[in-house]
Structure 1
Amino acid sequence: MPLITPEDIGTTPRSRLSPRRRLQAWERTNGRCVVCGERIDGARERWIVEHIRALELGGMDELGNMGPAHEACGREKTRDDHARTARAKRQKLRHIGATAPERLLPGSRASPLKRKLSGAVVPRETALFGISAGSAKKMPGFGRSLWRKAAEAEKPLAERIANLQKYAPAQVAAALTHQRPPTRNQSSIGFGMSSAPKREDQQVLAGSLEALIPPEIASLLTPPPLLPDEDPDGYGRLLTAVGVSVEPRDTIEWLWVKDVVDLLWEAQRLRRLRTVLLRTARRQGLSYLLDLYGEPEQDTFQMKRDELVRGWSSGKREAVRQVAALLAKHGLTDEAISAQALSGKLDDLDRIERMIANADGRRNGVLREIDRRRSALGARLRAASDQVIEGEAIDASSDQRGSARR
């Protein structure tokens, strides 16, 4: 298995494809991406011909090992293939006992290069806040705290909340539910000088999910879609709950989470408006029934009817008793008022129901996109790990046969 170093990335030799070969590779999968499995719009989306199994992992440069892929999917697969190849090579050298190479292994402790989880290779001494990792170790307090803060910002959301719960579980629960945190005397856990939460942790505990969103991502999120009479704290609690449940991993998933929360908020708003509309229509329904079944007393009935409707709406006992007696006299109950209110607002309620269904459908579509993106990534990682394990087993058996011959 070849050693892959940063200068080798993207230089693996491969044959040049003619338009006819590209068309044949397209027809092999009927235009479906070999990485994510989604259909490619050949007229609108950029696509390439990708090796199903990478050449450095033992794949053949033949049509049977090729297929169409989205350009972004192809770049991601190439990056992951290089990372898996380097990892497999390190495992081989460490555990199988192969001869040490002349050049340094990529991502090893002896190398000045460090391979990040995203696959990007950066110098190990990359400076954060103007301070390198080596310099931060020599600086007591200040430099190390900056590096600790940067490391905390890269952790997944659930892990960061779990770390905070070690210090103050009651305060974390209060922050997530937007309640006042208990005092020192009320809390069942005391804090010593060594176990007290840091200042940045206290800011996270005092706020909502917005304090846990990385700053570079928070600047990309749109403002909350709130009306003047709506509660910003309720929107923050909803964003907190959805964010903790989904655990967004990158900018795309954060934007999707924001879309899901906005659609949930829109659906809740429409349901509240539907309830208010029905309550308002009940007064109109009662007025219609009083006109239909009432016993007007010449010019004074209009005044009595309005007073009766206002009293019934405000819950006055005498007005409620008179309305119930009038309805019972004609074989009706309080449900007749609701039925009359519903019949007068059917068109408005139908439009609201369609808007709610539309918001729920769009929300479910975004959640499906998140699941599809993660399942495709998980399938690729599982296939890659199987290939690495298979390659290690083949290399180990070949080394054993070579040693037996000697």
Structure 2
Amino acid sequence: MGRQTAPTASISVELFDLIPRRRRLPGEDSVAYDALREALLNDLNPGTPYEAALAENLVELEWEAHRFRTIRDDLWLKRFRHLAKHVFYNPYSDEDEDAEKAEALADALISGESKERNAALVELSQHGVEEGALLAEAYSLERDALSPIERHIAELEPRRRRLREDYDQLKGKRIRSNVQDADVIENNVD
């Protein structure tokens, strides 16, 4: 797998390739990561090797927040889907078709907006269950697993802010040091 780089006008491709990056985890979207990285590096526009290293750290922090939100949501939705399946499925039925229908309805609930999802919501309400209540129950059942993930997500924000402040200060100093003294030109208008 080749590395995609997002060099700026003043930082070479080789320098960006020297800065190590974390591997993507199984199931993570490399294209989405590369797009996020390119967008952030273009926005930050690092001009020195150290700015480039800090910019890469900012990219990694943003991706880590995305990663842990995805993990949290996947865990929560897995439990939600499991609960929904048991709302739709009568375990005392000998019908394999009932189990397959319950699986399909549970899958439809966690899909995007669609006719199937709307039909699953109607079916859920016919069983006297509200989607929000089922989501809350799923969260409650996964609370012990979700809490450390949510704590980690919350801890990332101040780290990201501090790193961005450091980056902005460093870049500001470099920009100010590159500004040459201006010559004063007098305008003698008579």
TM-score calculated relative to the size of structure 2: 0.70
Counterpart residue number, 2:26: 228
Name the Cα RMSD after superposition. 3.7
Q: Of 75, 81, 87, which aligns to 1:283? A: 81
Per-residue CA deviation, residues 30-64 of structure 1 (Å, 9 max, x unaligned), is xxxxxxxxxxxxxxxxxxxxxxxxxxxxxxxxxxx
Q: Which residue of 1 aligns with 2:105?
A: 312
Residue identity matched to 1:354: R
User: 1:288/1:372 Cα in 2 relative to 1: closer, same or farther (>3 Å)?
Assistant: same
Pick closer, same or farther for the CA change 1:235–1:318 going to 2, 3 Å. Answer: closer
Match of 1:334 among 104, 116, 131: 131
Match of 1:323 in 2: 124
Aligned to 1:260: 58
Structure 2 distance, partners of 1:302, 1:340, is 28
My pick for the range that moved more, 231-240 or 300-309, is 300-309
Greater RCO (CA < 8 Å, at least 6 residues apart)? 2
1:81-96 alignment, distance < 5 Å = none
| C-alpha distance in structure 1 between counterparts of 2:52 and 2:119, whole Å | 56
**Aligned position for 1:394:** none
Aligned to 1:371: 168
Q: Indicate how the Cα distance of structure 1 residues 318 and 263 shifts in structure 2: closer, same or farther if over 3 A, else same.
A: closer
Identity of aligned residues (%): 22
CA displacement 1:180-233 (0-9 Å, x = unmatched): xxxxxxxxxxxxxxxxxxxxxxxxxxx751597514413421034312322322
AA of the residue aligned to 2:126: A
Whole-angstrom distance in 2 between the partners of 1:243 and 1:307: 47
Deviation at 1:276, TM superposition (A): 1.7
One-letter code of the match for 1:311? A
**Residues 368, 217 of structure 1: CA spacing in aligned structure 2 closer, same or farther, 3 A cutoff?**
same
Number of the residue aligned with 2:159:
362
* Equivalent residues in 2 for 1:59-138, closer than 5 Å: none
Aligned to 1:209, the other structure's residue is in SS state: coil
Pick closer, same or farther for the CA change 1:288–1:340 going to 2, 3 Å.
farther
- Residue 116 of structure 1 aligns with which residue? none
Counterparts of residues 244-259 of structure 1 (less than 5 Å): 244-259=42-57
After superposition, the C-alpha distances for 1:94-124 in whole angstroms (9 at most, x for unaligned) are xxxxxxxxxxxxxxxxxxxxxxxxxxxxxxx
Query: Could you tell me how far apart the structure 2 residues matched to 1:347 and 1:264 are?
Result: 25
Distance in 2, matches of 1:346 and 1:303, equals: 34
Contact 1:225–1:262 (Cα < 8 Å) also in 2? no
Paired residue total? 173
Residues 40, 59 of structure 2: 8 Å contact kept: yes
- Rg larger in 1 or in 2? 1
Distance 2:102 2:13 in 1: 54
* Contact 1:311–1:320, Cα closer than 8 Å, also in 2: no
Q: CA deviation at 1:287?
A: 5.6
CA distance in 2, matches of 1:267, 1:369: 19
Identify unmatched segments of 5+ residues in structure 1. 1-206, 390-406
Structure 1 residue aligned with 2:141: 344
Q: Does 1:300 align with 2:92?
A: yes
**Structure 2 residue aligned with 1:269, among 48, 52, 67?**
67
CA distance in 2, matches of 1:371, 1:321: 52
